[in-house]
Amino acid sequence: MIKLKEYEVSPSTDKNDADEAIKDLQERLFIAFRKLYQQKYSAIVLIEGWAGAGKGDLIQNITMRLDPRKIRVFSYVNDDYAYDGYHFLKKFWNRLPGYGESVIFNGSWYGRVCYESFNKKIDHVEYNSSFRSILNLERNLTDDKYFIFKYFLNISKQEQSKILQKAKKFGLKWMVSKDDKVQSKYYNKYKDLIEIYLNQTNTEVCPWSIVPAKNRNYSKIFVMESIIQRLEQELKIDTKKLLNFIKREETES
């Protein structure tokens, strides 16, 4: 049973050590994704989490060394979830990558269901139907040539409030949307809805990784290491060994 309260504290990290580790992981990600493309597999990375948890910063670090021709990033705000006359998954389906390409969703099909449920725009029947559709989609994709990674960046109510207040204090009010303020005001209600969907969709083939995100360097290292480990296992590669080989080649040349 996933309880977000258990994921509010991040281990501390030394800034210099973290910077070095992140740089190293970015190089290993480059190697892993290059192998992914060569073998015509695809990665779908879903980044969910609280407003102020550092989703955008995390994505920027993940993609720093990746080939922009092979990976795309799509961000969704609540207005994007509005009904448009089609099945709600269509706007995501149209942006799924082809074989040998990858995508990162900043906000995803899960955010849509949570938002619609919070605003009472869908009833209990449609709510459950939405999750069945999502699980069917994820199963179909993982049965094919897709690897799906699902992350939720978690911070406490107090930490979120502190981050949003800090943005206001330093003249960054434009970074805090109306929806961010609503989420902060009704944090506990959102938390209940989020925990429901995390537990209902935490499957063996597509499990959730809950990331304590108070320490942003820790969350970056956690997520990048997680992606690398999975790709190494699936693609039968050792990115650390390959990176060390490249470094030796550069030193000797």
> What confidence score (pLDDT) does residue 17 get?
95
Contact 53/154 with Cβ under 8 angstroms?
A: yes
User: Is it the case that residue 85 has pLDDT exceeding 90?
Assistant: no
State how beta strands 146-154 and 208-212 pair.
parallel
Q: What pLDDT, in 10s, does the model give residues 94-117?
A: 999 999 999 999 999 999 899 889
User: Is it the case that residue 35 has pLDDT exceeding 70?
Assistant: yes
Across 226-250, average pLDDT: 93
CA-nearest of 6, 97, 31, 22 to 61 is: 22
**Which H helix or E strand runs over 136?**
helix 124-143
| pTM for this predicted structure | 0.94
Q: What's the token pair of residue 63? A: 């993609």
User: Is it the case that residue 253 has pLDDT exceeding 70?
Assistant: no
Q: What pLDDT, in 10s, does the model give residues 156-191?
A: 999 999 999 998 877 676 778 889 999 999 999 999
User: Is it the case that residue 88 has pLDDT exceeding 70?
Assistant: yes
CATH class label, 4-160+186-243:
alpha beta
Q: What percent of the chain has pLDDT over 90?
A: 79
Across 191-211, average pLDDT: 96
pLDDT confidence of 82, banded at 50, 70, 90? Answer: low
Task: Determine what percent of the chain falls in helix, strand and coil, rounding each to the nearest 5.
Answer: 60, 15, 30
Q: What's the token pair of residue 20? A: 């070095």
User: Is it the case that residue 64 has pLDDT exceeding 90?
Assistant: yes
Across 33-41, average pLDDT: 97
Give me the chain's average pLDDT, please. 93
Question: Which is higher by pLDDT, 206 or 176?
Answer: 206
Q: What's the token pair of residue 15? A: 């800034």
- Domain spans in the chain, listed from the N-terminal domain onward: 4-160+186-243
pLDDT confidence of 222, banded at 50, 70, 90? Answer: very high
pLDDT confidence of 149, banded at 50, 70, 90? Answer: very high
Beta strands in 89-223 (DSSP E): 102-106, 146-154, 208-212
Buried b (16+ CB within 10 A) or exposed e, 221-241: bbbbeebbebbbeeeebebee
